[in-house]
Structure 1
Amino acid sequence: MNTVLIIGAGGVGHVVANKCAQLPDIFQSIHLASRTKSKCDAVAEDVRSRTGISITTHSVDADDVPATVALIREIKPQLLINVALPYQDLTLMEACLETGVNYLDTANYEPRDVAKFEYSWQWAYQEQFRNAGLFALLGSGFDPGVTNVFTAWALKHHFDEIHTLDIIDVNGGNHGKAFATNFNPEINIREVTAPCRHWEDGAFRET
């Protein structure tokens, strides 16, 4: 039986839970955990109403490695999908290493008190995951993530060369509110107020 543990019950966790439920041949057992179990319960009920699939919910603090390890050992998943906050990536990677579970996230690590995000902190775990025979897929959200896959596919199958790629990241639909961020408000505000890094003349520039 393939078991998945999803950490995070926000908007992205909601989508991930629904997507996993749509793949019952791959994910026979789905578990959803966050600090607030009632959020998990609401997501699980929505998934059940849409797909008929039941999700087991749990409460866990993703900053607490021993608590996360205990939950993983109870559930025994083959994969942990991390859609919690980006500054919880390393603690969840530590828990996966300790329990021998594969890891996937949608956003690269950034420190809790500094609006700076890059992959070097997570890449430092590469040898540990390799030596443990585990897989860690980083940054597999929309952009970067699936947009990289779409671009590689387009270049391989439809174009001789691509010089410029614009990715437009927006919300769809009408949520009835005057303003809403397109994902976690804290992280969104940190990102839009951080210095911009872009590629120019063969190097990354910061402005």
Structure 2
Amino acid sequence: MSRALIIGAGGVSNVVCHKCAQNSEVFEEFMIASRTKSKCDEIKDRIESGIYAGRSKITTAQVDANNVPELVALINEYKPDIVINVALPYQDLTIMDACLETKTDYVDTANYEPEDTAKFEYKWQWDYRERFEKAGITALLGSGFDPGVTSVFAAYAQKHHFDEIQTIDILDCNGGDHGYPFATNFNPEINIREVTANGSYWEDGKWIETEPMEIKREYTFDQVGKKDMYLLHHEEIESLALNIKGIKRIRFFMTFGESYLTHLKVLENVGMTSIKPIDFEGKQIVPLQFLKAVLPDPGSLGSRTKGKTNIGNIFTGIKDGKEKTYYIYNVCDHEACYKEVGSQAVSYTTGVPAMIGAAMVLTGQWKKPGVYNIEEFNPDPFMEALNVYGLPWQEDFNPTLVD
């Protein structure tokens, strides 16, 4: 039996907490902590009036995830076996610092991103490798869906289906409709920074950079249909390029509708997506943070979102001297997710793997001192857990390839 501290109280945290309660054999107790304690209490109340009521002992607390002494004090008071970080990516390093000081295992879903520049990469967290190893604790990075499950899919394909993987295309399709003219399915600040950044992909041992949304492809997704998708930079490319041996090319594509892109372009043109502070009526404000405040809260989208997501990887490579293609993916239904846990599928597909990754560390299956990306461990128990906890995967051995 274990005790977890879950930091953050947004849509993903709501899913993580429900799934920890579902998996109460591992998560006998957990605490939900955030800057706003009332949000933690709402999640606790939702669980205790839902289908996973009474399974785990749940408590809540207030904490500032930017404040290392506050985090350390809470960890020392609650004494968790693991910290699950589903706060903002800007707060990864302060939470890792607190875990180091208290010698507590750590799991997150997205890599560190400085608040003052739209740049997300693993170097800051990889710098903690030696310190975590010396402390005898594990940091599991990127245990969401992408990064996360898509990385485990790559490890699984490498272990079971290929002697050599040559290319990976990660395809992230959200076929959901929330009915708003413009809204983001996860934190608007993070989402818009990601989408408006330059694209990039890995080929022949180097990064190739593109303009935002420069490369467009069309793909027909199982249970969703034909969608336009665009090449983005995404953090799992960076670690997969190191950990999938012999890889020649890795690309990441995400679907966007015309309306979303039109709204985004207008907002960008008028300066609303900028992260540079400006003076407004004697105060400094960041336009993107203001935009976040006026857009619909992603946590409010669950009850009105219909449709499905389809996220997976297409591989090409060699098996037994012959060329092989392989596609592994998950389809997730927004309405089914909301019925189960009160969140839409984008939060669900991130929150379920966060719980599973933490369980892998707590049960010793992925327990190893140091800082690791998720594809560096045995994928099999994680893949089995996906089928148990709501993200069953499907395989296609003759997929349509992306040109």
Superposition TM-score tier, normalisation by shorter sequence: over 0.9
Quote the residue 1:112 is aligned against: 115
Structure 1 contact 155–162 (Cα < 8 Å) conserved: yes
5 Å matches for 1:90-105? Answer: 90-105=93-108
Identity %: 64
Quote the residue 1:52 is aligned against: 53
Quote the residue 1:204 is aligned against: 207
The structure, 1 or 2, with the larger RCO (C-alpha pairs under 8 Å, 6+ apart) is: 2
Which amino acid letter does the alignment assign opposite residue 6 of structure 1? I
Structure 1 contact 80–96 (Cα < 8 Å) conserved: yes
SS at match of 2:168: coil
CA–CA distance in structure 2, aligned partners of residues 83 and 100 of structure 1: 19
Alpha-carbon RMSD: 1.7
Structure 1 contact 115–191 (Cα < 8 Å) conserved: yes
Which amino acid letter does the alignment assign opposite residue 96 of structure 2? M
5 Å matches for 1:9-20? Answer: 9-20=9-20
Which amino acid letter does the alignment assign opposite residue 7 of structure 1? I
Quote the residue 1:33 is aligned against: 33
In the alignment, is residue 141 of structure 1 matched against residue 144 of structure 2? yes
CA–CA distance in structure 2, aligned partners of residues 133 and 28 of structure 1: 23
SS at match of 1:189: helix
**Unaligned residue ranges in structure 1 (runs of 5+):** none
Quote the residue 1:42 is aligned against: 42
Cα deviation digits, residues 171-192 of structure 1 (max 9, x gap): 4655443333121110001111
Q: Which has the higher strand share?
A: 2
In the alignment, is residue 178 of structure 1 matched against residue 145 of structure 2? no
CA–CA distance in structure 2, aligned partners of residues 58 and 125 of structure 1: 27
What is the aligned length?
207
CA–CA distance in structure 1, aligned partners of residues 47 and 175 of structure 2: 20
5 Å matches for 1:72-83? Answer: 72-83=75-86
CA–CA distance in structure 2, aligned partners of residues 180 and 82 of structure 1: 24
Structure of greater Rg: 2
Structure 1 contact 170–182 (Cα < 8 Å) conserved: no
Quote the residue 2:364 is aligned against: none
Cα deviation digits, residues 106-152 of structure 1 (max 9, x gap): 00001011000111111111111100100001111111211111222
TM-score with structure 2 setting the length: 0.49
